[in-house]
Structure 1
Amino acid sequence: MAATTLSPIQQQQWHPGEQAMHRLLRVPRDDNPTFRGLAPSHGHRISQSPVVALGTLDGRGRPWAALWGGERGFCRPVADGVLGVRAVALDVQFDPVLGEVLGVEGGGEDRKTRGTRRKEIVSDQVVHPDADEGGKLIAALAIDLETRDRVKFAGRALAGAVSVTATATAETEAGGLPSRLGDLQMAIRVEETLGNCPKYLNKKRITPHVPSPRLVSMGVGGEDKGDDDGGGGSGATQLLSREAIDLVERADLFFIASRYGSNGEGSMDVNHRGGAPGFMRVLTAPNTTATTATTTTTALVYPEYSGNRLYQTLGNLHSDPRAGLAIPDFATGDVLYVTGRASILLGEDAAAACLSRRAKLALRVDVEEARLVRDGLPFRGEVIDFSPYNPPAPPVPRRQGADGSPPTRTETGKAVDGGGGGGGGGGVATATLVDRHVISPSVARYVFKLSSVAASDGSCPSWRPGQHVTLDFGAELDHGWSHMRDDDPQSLNDDFVRTFTVSSSGGGEGARAPPPNEFEITVRRHGPATGLLAKWNLRVPLELPVLGFGGAEGFRLPIPTSPSPSPERGSVFVAAGVGITPLMAQAADVLRTAAGDNNNADGSGGGGGGGVTAPLRVLWSLKREDLPLAVHVLKRIEGLGKVTRLFVTGGGDGELEGGIRQLGAVVTERRMGPDDVLATGEKGNRRFYCCTGPEMMKALLQWTEGEEVVFESFNY
């Protein structure tokens, strides 16, 4: 067998696009670990992979990606440097890669591809794609989700054939084309391989499945859109249907194909991107380009997590922004195929697009064409376990109701006033830890003293009750880049910037205010930042940059205008555990002008007698071990006990509960229920403020359907 002649691109260590990304992200120069050819070890790993994601180019040079497989061994070495593929039950009609690699031109001109000939699979016809160029350019990722193993390979599809085995009788929902299945045989000459790490791969058990593909929706945007919009009717304006968007928002894995160079001497890459469900999001915006046929632009955005720093995908996209994505739903077999143009986002642009302060690098893919195929995959995947390296996904923004009316719920996040990124630099002030008061085994109160670094007059930034402070722990906790860190996987994508509710009021009667330029936070030990605070030796100064104080105005409780009974709306604050902290800074001011009105906390609704509406009621769920926190809070804020009802789980503590009752609170030894919530305050004349964990918040939003609810999100 003649030796393979390496193209100029193959002879380079890194192509110009990769070099540009390395310079942009300040990556040290190193050798390219890509193996030229098919190493025996890589061939074995590929043969053990039940799924292969493949990418190729269509007639206009646009990348597409698709998924084949179902059983181990369907793709394996058959000769020196050659892989044989024997895949069954593939979607012949809608799979974009299969059609481009082994399709035969025919069926007339395709209006969607501006003059190119439509390709069709002809049963049992042997095809030698792009034979004059040595085969059809192709790239792939063999992946074993059960063992979190993956191997990239790229080369040329030499020859193949498809035997059409079944044709569905029912027509599709969009386009009216019948679906077909086929069994494939194909030979691929492998020019390069690279084994990859297991990060961000969620374990799944793959089993074969015979699909019944149906094209649910199709969108073609911009100048690509012809007279036939393919979206189920003329005048379609959405590139992604509601069902397609839902698939994206629950995906925990997708595959991306990219290219570099021309077809003859070019190369391709296919790799995966994974994370927690919801790590990828959809952006839609009004289209301001008058020449396009759609009224909105649609983009997919995801964060680029810490990886091996080769930046082969991003290097390709830096040189050629065209990208193809395959986004599967392993549970249903649905798959979304997308091709579009990518933009690399850095710094604040990445954080804003991903709704995550931690995102420093992200990719945006503006969709040019998309097709959603229901039950289009020849396998199913059952979740076994999620990767410990997955950062938390940001919350999906809430949408308005179908009638366009505004939502009755308002979610407030931990917005930050003031700039700055991680890593221990910048900030509007410095916070020095000066005191620590341990309240319970897992909860403590920390006191910080502020000193100015930004103001010329030496003044420190101020805050209002209920706001948050954002502190940068990067200088103390960031150990720099490493490829893998099994002892602390979450730290790889952690900027060590943390946001805490300020629990000190800053003054007011009935509150114990700290001295000027001091603030307090009351937090549970959970994670590296709070762990650092808990064990820090107070004899050594701990100085942290303050990135800002902030917080949504919507979570500030109204202060009564007078102590007399009035028709003003009452506030019902529902908290779980340390979710009480937003109230700690506000309660004194709310209660100060309401003295004498809040003498009843039996949960019967209304305050005092005569149907008077109390300005504040508190429903607080606590575990038994957190009862010291209740004692601490109720002692510090005069009058708060009289308006508080505690729900204690995990057994009681007679001594502590007795002390809590002496402070005026009602103690109930059970979980909080819907009747407890709805019986508090006066319906139609109350607003609920909720600060709990996600599961309890979900229940609260169901219980208070139709009520006015403001809630603090823990998903940040």
Structure 2
Amino acid sequence: MTDLVDRLAFHSGELAAQRVAGTAELAARVHPIIADAIPRGAFDFLTRQQMLVLGARDEQDRPWATSLVGPEGFLTALDAHTLRADATVVPTDPLADVLRHETDVGTLAIDLVMRKRLRINGRWRPVEGGGEVDVHQAFGNCPKYIQARVMTEEPPEFHPVVHRGDALDTRQSLVVSNADTFFIATGVESGVDVSHRGGNPGFVQVVSPTELVWPDYVGNAMMMTAGNIGVNPLAGLLFPDWESGATLQLTGTAEVRWAARAQSGPGNGHETVFRVHEAVWTENAFPSSWTDPAYSRFN
């Protein structure tokens, strides 16, 4: 990342996506929410969280999304420009090696109970027991499409078992087709971003073992994920299996199919097509003690 890049400005891909989606005017109005520091009011919010979703690129520049989990207090804002996470990914995670060094990351602190989320993007540096993020961007997101669920026990000690492939198997396809939540990591020259996607079960369609499709829902108008994809189609997905404690991580390419006209309901007519290049299924990588979801009224 270069210091010559204005990290708070929309890049060319975001501006192009906003124009196509017809959200440019609204995006310009909400743009001031993007800051280069963690809002003071978010300090307490961070300390109450038990999960941080993280996106980064591996040694081959492929994006992956993963999660850090821990008890309340494992996340702290050391100051307005530094996020501390006292947790590490499992050793078999696709990002385990790169997170041992400085790297660009996108992070999302998401409160599934209160339906609140805070995105913090910046530069990761490893520290003993975890890592710290030098903040380049920080901004809140709306509560839309978040399914409320509660972790009923403290996160356990994980003993991962990993299966890798270049396509979804039957169990993985079922997890995707029944998913109500997943996360997507994308990246451009100026950095990495990770975002939440939610909907009623079935909103992600498994077209084949190597192709997924999901609708784009009306959001904050900034079109950050779509804008990144327009510049760099490489993307990574994370599907948690809330019941078993397994995770499905995918890396591949994404393409936004723009609709000719808007639609009624939460969908705006656009959709994203994702083509799988590698799938990593990890058992015992995620907490499994969650309540049944309460679906978002926005779905």
TM-score, normalization: structure 1? 0.39
Checking the alignment, whether the CA contact within 8 Å between 2:158 and 2:286 is kept in structure 1 is yes
- Pick from 134, 145, 156 the counterpart of residue 112 of structure 2: 145
Shift of 1:70: 3.8
Cα distance in 1 for partners of 2:106, 2:283 equals 25
- Pick from 342, 350, 358 the counterpart of residue 254 of structure 2: 342
| 1:240 to 1:350, Cα distance in 2 relative to 1, 3 A | farther
Shift of 1:145: 0.2
Cα RMSD over matched residues? 2.4
Which residue of structure 1 lines up, in the alignment, with residue 202 of structure 2? 278
Which residue of structure 2 lines up, in the alignment, with residue 387 of structure 1? 296
Shift of 1:10: 2.3
**Residues 205-220 of structure 1: matches in 2 within 5 Å?**
205-206=150-151, 207=153, 208-215=155-162, 217-220=163-166
Which residue of structure 2 lines up, in the alignment, with residue 202 of structure 1? 147
| 1:349 to 1:361, Cα distance in 2 relative to 1, 3 A | same
Cα distance in 2 for partners of 1:11, 1:158 equals 19
Answering whether residue 284 of structure 2 is matched by residue 375 of structure 1, we say yes
Shift of 1:349: 11
Answering whether residue 185 of structure 2 is matched by residue 257 of structure 1, we say yes
**Bigger radius of gyration:** 1
Shift of 1:302: 0.8
Which residue of structure 2 lines up, in the alignment, with residue 159 of structure 1? 126
Letter aligned with residue 250 of structure 1: N
Cα distance in 2 for partners of 1:349, 1:364 equals 18
Answering whether residue 9 of structure 2 is matched by residue 13 of structure 1, we say yes
- Pick from 269, 274, 289 the counterpart of residue 193 of structure 2: 269
Which residue of structure 1 lines up, in the alignment, with residue 42 of structure 2? 42
Which residue of structure 2 lines up, in the alignment, with residue 100 of structure 1? 98
Which residue of structure 2 lines up, in the alignment, with residue 332 of structure 1? 244
| 1:12 to 1:76, Cα distance in 2 relative to 1, 3 A | closer
Question: SS state of the match for residue 381, structure 1?
Answer: coil
Shift of 1:75: 1.1
Checking the alignment, whether the CA contact within 8 Å between 2:255 and 2:272 is kept in structure 1 is yes
Which residue of structure 2 lines up, in the alignment, with residue 596 of structure 1? none
| 1:363 to 1:145, Cα distance in 2 relative to 1, 3 A | same
Where structure 2 has 5 or more consecutive residues not aligned to the other structure, the ranges are none
Letter aligned with residue 73 of structure 1: G
Letter aligned with residue 313 of structure 1: T
Shift of 1:268: 1.0
Checking the alignment, whether the CA contact within 8 Å between 1:256 and 1:325 is kept in structure 2 is yes
Shift of 1:362: 0.8
Answering whether residue 65 of structure 2 is matched by residue 65 of structure 1, we say yes
Cα distance in 1 for partners of 2:229, 2:262 equals 16
CA offsets 1:547-604 (integer angstroms, 9 cap, x no match): xxxxxxxxxxxxxxxxxxxxxxxxxxxxxxxxxxxxxxxxxxxxxxxxxxxxxxxxxx
| 1:15 to 1:358, Cα distance in 2 relative to 1, 3 A | closer
- Pick from 16, 19, 24 the counterpart of residue 20 of structure 2: 24
| 1:371 to 1:349, Cα distance in 2 relative to 1, 3 A | farther
CA offsets 1:110-158 (integer angstroms, 9 cap, x no match): xxxxxxxxxxxxxxxxxxx2xxxxx311110001101111000011112
Shift of 1:386: 1.1
Which residue of structure 1 lines up, in the alignment, with residue 74 of structure 2? 74
Cα distance in 1 for partners of 2:259, 2:226 equals 16
**Residues 120-519 of structure 1: matches in 2 within 5 Å?**
129=101, 135-161=102-128, 184-206=129-151, 207=153, 208-215=155-162, 217-220=163-166, 239-261=167-189, 266-284=190-208, 298-347=210-259, 360-378=269-287, 380-390=289-299
Stretch moving more, 66-75 or 328-337? 66-75
Cα distance in 2 for partners of 1:11, 1:67 equals 24
Question: SS state of the match for residue 96, structure 1?
Answer: coil
Question: SS state of the match for residue 315, structure 1?
Answer: helix
Shift of 1:303: 0.7
Cα distance in 2 for partners of 1:6, 1:42 equals 27
CA offsets 1:283-340 (integer angstroms, 9 cap, x no match): 12xxxxxxxxxxxx71121111111111111111111111011100112111100001
Shift of 1:248: 0.5
Shift of 1:41: 2.0
Cα distance in 2 for partners of 1:37, 1:21 equals 26
Shift of 1:372: 1.0
Checking the alignment, whether the CA contact within 8 Å between 2:107 and 2:120 is kept in structure 1 is yes
Cα distance in 1 for partners of 2:274, 2:234 equals 9
Letter aligned with residue 219 of structure 1: G
Cα distance in 2 for partners of 1:91, 1:28 equals 40
Cα distance in 2 for partners of 1:269, 1:278 equals 25
Checking the alignment, whether the CA contact within 8 Å between 2:237 and 2:250 is kept in structure 1 is yes
Cα distance in 2 for partners of 1:376, 1:11 equals 33
Checking the alignment, whether the CA contact within 8 Å between 1:70 and 1:379 is kept in structure 2 is no
CA offsets 1:479-520 (integer angstroms, 9 cap, x no match): xxxxxxxxxxxxxxxxxxxxxxxxxxxxxxxxxxxxxxxxxx
Percentage of identical aligned residues: 29
Question: SS state of the match for residue 383, structure 1?
Answer: coil
CA offsets 1:11-48 (integer angstroms, 9 cap, x no match): 56210000100111122331422111222223332222
Cα distance in 1 for partners of 2:244, 2:70 equals 14
Checking the alignment, whether the CA contact within 8 Å between 1:68 and 1:378 is kept in structure 2 is no
| 1:350 to 1:58, Cα distance in 2 relative to 1, 3 A | farther
| 1:76 to 1:300, Cα distance in 2 relative to 1, 3 A | same
CA offsets 1:341-376 (integer angstroms, 9 cap, x no match): 00101227999xxxx996611111111111111221
Shift of 1:385: 1.4
Shift of 1:260: 1.2
Cα distance in 2 for partners of 1:55, 1:11 equals 17
Shift of 1:212: 2.9
Checking the alignment, whether the CA contact within 8 Å between 2:8 and 2:36 is kept in structure 1 is no
| 1:197 to 1:359, Cα distance in 2 relative to 1, 3 A | closer
| 1:384 to 1:325, Cα distance in 2 relative to 1, 3 A | closer
Runs of 4+ in structure 1 displaced over 4 angstroms? 348-351, 356-359
Letter aligned with residue 112 of structure 2: L
* Structure with the higher fraction of residues in strand conformation: 2
Which residue of structure 2 lines up, in the alignment, with residue 669 of structure 1? none
Letter aligned with residue 142 of structure 1: A
Cα distance in 2 for partners of 1:370, 1:26 equals 34
Letter aligned with residue 156 of structure 1: R
Letter aligned with residue 63 of structure 1: P
Letter aligned with residue 137 of structure 2: E
Cα distance in 2 for partners of 1:11, 1:186 equals 21
